[in-house]
Amino acid sequence: MPEIGLDKGEGASGGRWMPLQGIRILDFGWVWAGPVVGQILGDMGGEVIKVESRRRLDFVRLFPPFAGGKPDPDGGLFFHSLNRNKLSLTLDLTQAKAVELLKRLVKLCDVVVENFSPKALPKLGLDYPALREVKPDLIMVSLSAAGQTGPWRDVLTYGPSLGALAGLDSLIGYPGERVLGWPMAYTDPASGLLAVFGIMAALLHRKRTGQGQYIDLAQWEATTALLPEFIMDFTMNGRIAGPQGNRHRRMAPHGCFRCRGEDAWVSIAVESEEEWRNLARALGNPDWCREHRFSSPEGRREAEEELRRRIEEWTSQRTPQEVMELLQAYAVPAFASYGIGDLLSDSHFEERGAKVVVDHPHMKGEVLYGLPWKFSRTPGRIRRRAPLLGEHNRYVLCELLGMSEEEVRSLEAEKVVY
């Protein structure tokens, strides 16, 4: 694993060229959907200034676990991963002076990212129309739950309740049983990635035309866009899909099978006739595989429960790893159902750079998640650990905005910088 110390490789001398070098992003993001946008842009070289305040912390700073075990806004380890490569500026935006400072800073930024509710920034006088006045070619993206317009725009949600509105949760559970839903907020990273795509397209447009723009991204809409086959089965045929389990509309077997060991499972998915024949061979061509009802995908889907029982008789005598290696040797799509521990100790994910080690003042040798994209020529990298609260106040206020140390001190005393 590459070792990246504090600020090593920063600046003109140590750094390799990175794709978003020279792009400055003002990051109002909090929790996950907003911060992941800045995280990705920062990983690829952008200068990301996270605006926060002791008055109202990004509460992920207080998510356990903590470096050193004690709750501390600088020690939240969940926060460290999502906010690496960022700078921290603390401003209490309920104060007029802070709003003025922020507007001066926006003049020097290319992109503003926020994921507050639609009411929040207009109340502070920091919505897009206000910011565009000081920076006409600004690109700004708002990732709200339901968008900036429409009757439900002010809906209050957390990630899981957004998956509920988007139709995603109605599909999650065991077939024929109650809805279970997805307790993790898939909507957050999925929306964040779409925001990055939109920002990059807007930057390209600005480069050609000089024109900035505003992106209204409803996380709900971004998520429903990922369920077309279920949406269209309703719009075409009036069919309302229920909990899907691990089943698939076209494939069988397509499921997760019990293996030897505690909570040990393997996923197997068979699409083509070739994959089915290979599966039969891997199982040792038992007689039941030749039964007529299993000879077509339709037949296999109809007899899926019987099929599952037969396959599970075989998998339950083996570990997930054994099953997957055996089936893959016969070119059958199969993979163990991994937990986080499995993933972190697997040599494949190690080789793909899933873990990066950084030093943080609160923890030496801290493991963060890596960068999922492999660029051949200009890869991104983690060049900076997550910022302490307000760590870069002086960089922003003195170096970027040209204020004196005395001015900053008096703003601190007034708790404008806070």
Partner 1 sequence: MGTGALDGVKVLEYGQLVSAAYCCKLMGDLGAEVIKVEVPPEGDPARRYGPFPQDLPHPERSGLFLYLNINKRGITLNPALPEGALIFRRLGEWADILVENWPPGTMEAMGLGYERLQEINPDLIMTSITPFGQTGPYSRYKAHSLNVCHGAGVAKGIGAPGREPLAPPGEQSHFFGALNAAAATMVALWERELSGEGQYLDIAEADCWAMLFNGVWFSKYLYGGEEVSRLGHRSNLPVYPWAVLRCKDGFVSATAPEEVQWQRLVDLMGNPEWANDPRFETSAKRSQHADELDEHIESWFSTRTKAEIFRSCQERNIPFSPIQDMREVVECPHLAERGYFVRIQHPEAGEILCPGPPYRLSETPWELRRRAPLLGEHNEEIFCGLLGCDLRDLERWRKEGVI
Q: Which of residues 135-194 bind partner 1 (CB under 8 A)?
A: 146-147, 149-153, 155-174, 178-184, 186, 189-190, 193-194
Omega cis (within 30) before 65: yes
Spatial separation of the C-alpha atoms in residues 259 and 323, rounded to whole Å: 8
Q: Which of 195, 289, 397, 416 binds partner 1 (CB under 8 A)?
A: 195
What part of residues 268-287 is at the interface with partner 1 (CB under 8 A)? 268-269, 271, 275
Q: Contact between 96 and partner 1 (CB under 8 A)?
A: no
DSSP state for residue 291 in the 8-state scheme: S
Buried b (16+ CB within 10 A) or exposed e, 188-222: bbbbbebbbebbbebbeebeeeeebbbbbbbbbbb
What part of residues 370-399 is at the interface with partner 1 (CB under 8 A)? 370-378
Nearer to partner 1, 120 or 200 (CB): 200
Q: Contact between 55 and partner 1 (CB under 8 A)?
A: no
Show the binding pattern over residues 314-353: x = contacts partner 1 (CB under 8 A), - = does not.
--------------x--xxxxxxxxxxxxxx--xxx-xx-
The answer to whether the beta carbons of residues 345 and 50 sit under 8 Å apart is no
Nearer to partner 1, 29 or 397 (CB): 29
From the CB of 180, what's the least distance to partner 1, in Å? 5
Beta strands in 53-154 (DSSP E): 86-90, 111-114, 139-144
What part of residues 201-240 is at the interface with partner 1 (CB under 8 A)? 201-205, 207, 209, 211-218, 221-222, 224-237, 239-240
* Catalytic status, residue 72: no
- Which residue in 74, 110, 169, 188 is the catalytic one? 188
From the CB of 291, what's the least distance to partner 1, in Å? 24
Q: How many residues in total does the chain contain?
A: 418
Q: Contact between 260 and partner 1 (CB under 8 A)?
A: no
* Element at 99 (helix H, strand E): helix 96-106
From the CB of 418, what's the least distance to partner 1, in Å? 23
Nearer to partner 1, 86 or 98 (CB): 86
From the CB of 28, what's the least distance to partner 1, in Å? 17
From the CB of 170, what's the least distance to partner 1, in Å? 5
Residues with Cβ within 8 Å of residue 383, at least 6 apart in sequence: 4, 7, 8, 9, 10, 15, 85
Nearer to partner 1, 317 or 378 (CB): 378
Q: Which of 34, 42, 118, 198 binds partner 1 (CB under 8 A)?
A: 198
From the CB of 84, what's the least distance to partner 1, in Å? 11
Q: In what order do the strands lie in the sheet with 3-4?
A: 3-4, 355-360, 363-369
The answer to whether the beta carbons of residues 55 and 93 sit under 8 Å apart is no
The token duo for 239 is 């069919």
Nearer to partner 1, 45 or 403 (CB): 45
**Among 144, 143, 54, 132, which Cα is nearest to 90's?**
54
Spatial separation of the C-alpha atoms in residues 53 and 99, rounded to whole Å: 13
User: What separation in angstroms does the CA of 120 have from each of 51, 115, 117, 351?
Assistant: 14, 10, 6, 43
Point out the residues that are catalytic: 188
